[in-house]
Amino acid sequence: MATIKDIASAAGVSLATVSRVINNGPKVGDATRARVKTIMQEMGYRPNANARALVTKRSASLGVVIPELLEPFFAALGQGIETVTRQQKVQILLSAGSIEQETERRAIETLLEHRVEAMVVHSKALSDAELIDFACQIPGFVLINRYIPEIANRCVWLDNEAGGFIMAEHMIKQGHSKLAVVSSNYQITDPQMRIDGIRRAANAHGIDIPDSHIEFSTPDQEGGELAMQKLLSRDVEFTGILAYNDAMASGAMTMLQDNNIAVPQDVSVIGFDDVLLAKYCRPKLTTLHYPVEMMAGLATRLALDFAMGKSCKEETHKYTPTLITRQSVAAPR
Amino acid sequence: MATIKDIASAAGVSLATVSRVINNGPKVGDATRARVKTIMQEMGYRPNANARALVTKRSASLGVVIPELLEPFFAALGQGIETVTRQQKVQILLSAGSIEQETERRAIETLLEHRVEAMVVHSKALSDAELIDFACQIPGFVLINRYIPEIANRCVWLDNEAGGFIMAEHMIKQGHSKLAVVSSNYQITDPQMRIDGIRRAANAHGIDIPDSHIEFSTPDQEGGELAMQKLLSRDVEFTGILAYNDAMASGAMTMLQDNNIAVPQDVSVIGFDDVLLAKYCRPKLTTLHYPVEMMAGLATRLALDFAMGKSCKEETHKYTPTLITRQSVAAPR
DNA sequence: TTGTACGCGTTATCAG
DNA sequence: CTGATAACGCGTACAA
């Protein structure tokens, strides 16, 4: 691959001149500039981003750490990031990889070795302390879907407790008082936060949700089916199901329908996330919209700004999910 | 950020020694090695991947070009790639960006500037000639979902024509003879290939599928609804619908059901891709499984191998989709 | 307007 | 076993 040196000698000028042409530098004669440009074309020259990063100490790149790509939720997250980076001509370095301490840590470190300018990180396994440590080391370090008070302005997150509250409130407003929950058994704080919110709303209306009315399983459709099945077999009484996410909600609906329980006529179901699936499944899912894509976009701009030394005005980047009313929730009969 | 030089002076040794420790070089005294290691720890040293790439001319990185992340199909593609890069400790540089010539070209060029060692590219807009050109320049250049005879061993692709054939064959075997098609209006070859396959199967059974029985729209759920609506409003007779993908199939089913046409009792529907959605929608979709994740994995290994100078034995990397029987296809009544 | 020379952080080749 | 030192490809003061 041709280097700047090759171009220089081919054009009969010095390295410096070629460099100026490449970077649209100011002090180059029009004739020279044109000649150098054509020669670059002919030789198929491409600047070496690594060499450039080495000397300028800027890489125009953003590191991304997410657990995986397959889940629509994370796909949306990625899309939100990509939209911004493309527009700003920033290259994405992606590291996916499960929710495990060691994997997440390695991902961040690898990105660091590549000297990414900024970083958007979705971490559930690393400790607050470690994350704070990274944040101090890396100016452009932003967390998504996590809130750590000490670095509040670096966190873009969703108020899960409020989300839980809104779900329950909606169900209750529709007339439901016998509520059950289908939640996630992942060891992260989100499920518990949502349950807290649900209970706060319930209690405010004098409704109790005993532990026996809450089932945990994997946060996917299968998990939804399983949890629902357990609830059914335990003969728990309910007319409203609050699911951890849309996939579980969909699974729960399937299981209900398989048992000849009509949704929403006999039992109402509400989801969380508002991913594509919510519109596809039957009945269409009433759910909470999680503005991941927008949040990811903000996180990206934030990370890039911080990296540039701009400090942001806002101290907090909290989002609240909004209710999307479709067909899976109705008044109990 | 501490450099190798800082470590060297802090440890009272030379650059070379530190470098050897970093790369587990052979000729270093145990005592020195240990001392240098602790100092690296203390100072939080991280090797600079850019500098390293500059001198070694290897970057342990893979460039990925795909249109977007949101579509489950591409998410699966990404996941397939990620699985093997993680395992091989290779960093992903991701460039998404629509199906447009200029965008795709820019994506590849940016990746090239970063001197990625290998590249997995999903391109539908660039010409064969240009792609062949890139392939000649870049040893580790592999195309996914596209077949160009001149660089056959660099192509990992699905036999769309065969896919179309299988879909139609299945419908016909179930007893359907009045077939209609809901296809994609994207200007890529895939839709036409599938239609060709469909017609080949139909003709083999003496069945004709006139153009009036084929509707085109965007390859998503909405497009499926639209195309279906057009078909219905034109009073075309059919008992079997062949959709371009699962999303369109799902849309078509919705539209049928909204018109009080039962699936599969009145009309059968078959999809393509076998994404998550196929299992989620009701009735569950009979579809063709597109092994994207596996294909992406192969493409990645291939790209990495080619980059290392290994040539592969296989000359062709063609996949054929397989029929997944669920609930949306039944015998006509 | 153009060229020289140095440094960015590493690896690798030689000597010692 | 260890240490100078020359690349790698590029940007940029400083000179000319």
What pLDDT is stored for residue A313 in this prediction?
A: 67
Among B81, B17, B88, B91, smallest CA distance to B53 is for: B91
Nucleotides of D under 7 A from a protein CB: 1-13
Is residue A20 domain-shared with residue A88, that is, in the same domain?
no
Question: How many angstroms away from the CA of B9 is the closest CA of chain A?
Answer: 21
Is residue A172 domain-shared with residue A275, that is, in the same domain?
yes
The DSSP string of B55-82 is HHS---EEEEEES-SSSHHHHHHHHHHH
Query: Is residue B205 a part of any domain in this protein?
Result: yes
Cβ pair A238, A266 in contact under 8 A: no
- Coil vs helix vs strand at A9: helix
B56, closest nucleotide (Cα–C1') = C11
Question: How many angstroms away from the CA of B134 is the closest CA of chain A?
Answer: 11
Q: How far is CA A182 from CA A122, A177, A225, A227, B96, in A?
A: 24, 16, 9, 6, 35
* Res B176 pLDDT > 80: yes
Cβ pair A172, A202 in contact under 8 A: yes
Structure token pair of residue A224: 């939804």
Distance (Å, whole) CA B116 – CA B138: 10
Let me know if A320 is exposed, middle or buried by CB neighbors in 10 A (0-12, 13-18, 19+).
middle
A vs B, Cβ pairs < 8 A, gives 125
Distance (Å, whole) CA A91 – CA A83: 11
Q: For chain B, what is the total number of helices (H) and then of strands (E)?
A: 13, 12
Terminal C-alpha separation, chain A: 73
* Res B313 pLDDT > 90: no
Contact partners, residue B321, CB within 8 Å, separation at least 6: B158, B159, B162, B163, B166, B272, B288, B289, B290, B291
Query: Is residue A326 a part of any domain in this protein?
Result: no
Is residue A36 domain-shared with residue A126, that is, in the same domain?
no
Query: Is residue A219 a part of any domain in this protein?
Result: yes
Is residue A286 domain-shared with residue A164, that is, in the same domain?
yes
Separation of B88 CA and D12 C1' (Å): 38
A4, closest nucleotide (Cα–C1') = D9
Question: How many angstroms away from the CA of B5 is the closest CA of chain A?
Answer: 15
- Coil vs helix vs strand at B114: coil
Is residue B166 domain-shared with residue B283, that is, in the same domain?
yes
Is residue A261 domain-shared with residue A301, that is, in the same domain?
no
Query: Is residue A258 a part of any domain in this protein?
Result: yes
Among A49, A133, A163, smallest CA distance to B49 is for: A49
Distance (Å, whole) CA B249 – CA B261: 14
One digit per residue, the tens of pLDDT, for chain A of length 333 reads 889 999 988 888 888 899 999 888 777 788 888 888 899 998 999 999 999 999 999 999 999 999 999 989 999 999 999 999 999 999 999 998 777 899 999 999 999 999 999 999 999 999 999 999 999 999 999 999 999 999 999 999 999 999 999 999 999 999 999 999 999 998 778 999 999 999 999 999 999 999 999 999 999 999 999 999 999 999 889 999 999 999 999 999 999 999 999 999 999 999 999 998 898 888 999 999 999 999 999 999 999 999 998 877 677 899 999 999 999 999 998
Distance (Å, whole) CA A190 – CA A183: 10
pTM: 0.93
What pLDDT is stored for residue A148 in this prediction?
A: 95
Distance (Å, whole) CA B55 – CA B115: 12
Cβ pair A302, A271 in contact under 8 A: no
Distance (Å, whole) CA A123 – CA A98: 10
Q: Could you give the count of Cα atoms lying within 13 Å of B234 in the half-sphere of its Cβ? A: 15
Is residue B135 domain-shared with residue B166, that is, in the same domain?
no
Instruction: Judge: B93–A96 Cβ closer than 8 Å, yes or no.
Output: no
Contact partners, residue B168, CB within 8 Å, separation at least 6: B179, B197, B198, B199, B200, B201, B202, B242
Q: What is the pLDDT of residues B86-138, one digit of tens each?
A: 999 999 999 987 778 999 999 999 999 999 999 999 999 999 999 999 999 99
- Coil vs helix vs strand at B143: strand
Is residue A170 domain-shared with residue A226, that is, in the same domain?
yes
Query: Is residue A14 a part of any domain in this protein?
Result: yes
DSSP state of A239: S
- Cα torsion angle, B34, B39, B45, B49, sign: negative
Contacts of range B226-233, beta carbons closer than 8 Å, 24 or more positions apart: B226/B251, B227/B182, B227/B183, B227/B251, B227/B252, B228/B182, B228/B252, B228/B255, B228/B256, B229/B255, B231/B180, B231/B182, B232/B256, B232/B259
- Contact map slice: A 293-332 vs B, CB within 8 A: none
Rg (CA), chain A: 26
Name the residue range of residue B118's domain.
Answer: 65-159+292-319
Distance (Å, whole) CA A328 – CA A326: 6
CATH classification at residue A27: 1.10.260.40
Structure token pair of residue B61: 């990185």
Of B71, B78, B113, the CB nearest to A49: B113
Instruction: Judge: B93–A97 Cβ closer than 8 Å, yes or no.
Output: no
Is residue B168 domain-shared with residue B262, that is, in the same domain?
yes
Confidence of residue B287 (pLDDT cuts 50, 70, 90): very high
Structure token pair of residue A267: 């039992």
Q: What is the pLDDT of residues A33-78, one digit of tens each?
A: 888 889 999 899 999 999 999 999 999 999 999 999 998 999 999 9
Q: Phi/psi at B186 (nearest 5 deg)?
A: -70, 140
Let me know if B314 is exposed, middle or buried by CB neighbors in 10 A (0-12, 13-18, 19+).
exposed
Query: Is residue B17 a part of any domain in this protein?
Result: yes
- Cα torsion angle, B135, B141, B145, B149, sign: positive
- Coil vs helix vs strand at B157: strand
Instruction: Judge: A137–B82 Cβ closer than 8 Å, yes or no.
Output: no
Instruction: Judge: B97–A86 Cβ closer than 8 Å, yes or no.
Output: yes
Is residue B191 domain-shared with residue B223, that is, in the same domain?
yes
* Res B57 pLDDT > 80: yes
Nucleotides of C under 7 A from a protein CB: 1-5, 7-14
Q: What angle do CA B309, B311, B315 make, to 5 degrees?
A: 155
Could you count the other beta carbons within 10 Å of the beta carbon of residue B169? 18
Contact partners, residue B223, CB within 8 Å, separation at least 6: B184, B185, B217, B247, B248, B251
Among B247, B73, B270, smallest CA distance to B174 is for: B270
CATH classification at residue B302: 3.40.50.2300
Query: Is residue B57 a part of any domain in this protein?
Result: no
Distance (Å, whole) CA A25 – CA A276: 48
Q: Which residues of A touch B137 (CB under 8 A)?
A: 44
Among A65, A72, A71, smallest CA distance to A97 is for: A65
Mean pLDDT, range B9-38, rounded to an integer: 86
If one counts the domains in chain A, the total is 3
- Coil vs helix vs strand at B40: helix
DSSP state of A88: T
What pLDDT is stored for residue A98 in this prediction?
A: 74
Distance (Å, whole) CA B133 – CA B136: 5
Is residue A151 domain-shared with residue A296, that is, in the same domain?
yes
Query: Is residue B55 a part of any domain in this protein?
Result: no
Is residue B180 domain-shared with residue B267, that is, in the same domain?
yes
Which residues are registered as beta bridge partners of B217?
B184
Question: How many angstroms away from the CA of A90 is the closest CA of chain B?
Answer: 10
